[in-house]
Amino acid sequence: MPSSIARREVSSCREALARTTILELVNMLKILPVERITQKRKHIEIIYVYRPDEFTRRRIKVKAETEKAPELINIRTKGALEITLTVECASENELIVTLIVGGKSEHYIDEKKVKEIAGKIADLIASRSPPAPKPTPPPPVAAAAAAAATAAKAAKAMTAPMTGTSMSDCVERLITAGLRLDEILSKQIPSIYHPHASASGVLVAEGRGNSRALDLREYKDGYDIRLTSGNIFIEIVRLGGRVGVYYNDYNTGEELTGSAAIRRIEETICKEERPLTYLVLKMQAP
């Protein structure tokens, strides 16, 4: 199930969304060549072509349901391609774009293309945000007081424990579910389990959460779980009392498996609260 998340820092997320139309975003969903997009009132229809040759041309027709609010834009298609595009303001200064492609024709879709489109949509919306105002330098006395306050807060943060969670709790909730880590299983995820689950897995859960609260321990045996947070992609396979884990940072190209992946997840995901998007696939027997 191809998916991608793109994050951008903006000066005014709500204003950027207000300046973006749903039809603009639909026109950017070119995960396959597009033959036609039609809009009648609130209904949008997209016709994709997956065999461009005129003599063997095949079409996929989908209908889009849309929703727009001050802090959210949702586009979801129904048909052989089930595309979910969510554009949301995590805060006034942070934009998150989530693009997920499923359905019986998803095998025609290139995951790199999905990532590229999510990034382009994020760039377009971020470009609609007004320029950030230049900060006015404070008077010398105020600046010194502010620096002292910042230092005090930093010292307090360094000595304060993590609220409501710990590193081991985070790893157990999201990754291991109390199962034994298997290094060999971990190494097999990119080449064996990812394509197998993408082709024949059944989607049983999807949604959004954060690293401090999300709990995926209930999915114990026969599951492929995929987490995305910004440029980070994590895939977990739980099978026969064992768990494998694969970590990929799309920005740096770093790929890790097993215990090395766990250590990096502790540093990048568990150390502080981070937004997460997740998919849970029930794997079918090969």
In a domain, 138, yes or no: no
Q: pTM surpassing 0.85? A: no
Residues 121 and 229 in one domain: no
Give whole-number Cα distances, 227 to 68, 208, 213, 234, in Å: 25, 9, 14, 5
Q: What is the pLDDT of residue 164?
A: 37
Tokens of 207: 């949604």
Averaged pLDDT of the chain = 83
In a domain, 144, yes or no: no
Question: What are the DSSP calls for 102-128, one per residue?
Answer: ESTTGGG--HHHHHHHHHHHHHHHHHT
Amino acid residing at 99: L
In a domain, 11, yes or no: yes
Confidence check: pLDDT of 203 > 90: no
Question: 217 is in which domain, residue-wise?
Answer: 167-282
In a domain, 16, yes or no: yes
Instruction: Among 102, 127, 152, identify where a domain stops.
Output: 127
Instruction: Among 127, 149, 183, identify where a domain stops.
Output: 127
Residues 178 and 101 in one domain: no
Residues 172 and 115 in one domain: no
pLDDT tens per residue, range 158-176: 333 343 346 788 999 999 9
pLDDT tens per residue, range 131-143: 766 555 555 555 5
Residues 95 and 179 in one domain: no
Residues 103 and 193 in one domain: no
pLDDT tens per residue, range 4-56: 888 888 888 999 999 888 888 998 999 898 888 898 877 899 998 887 655 55
Tell me how many domains the chain contains. 2
In a domain, 136, yes or no: no
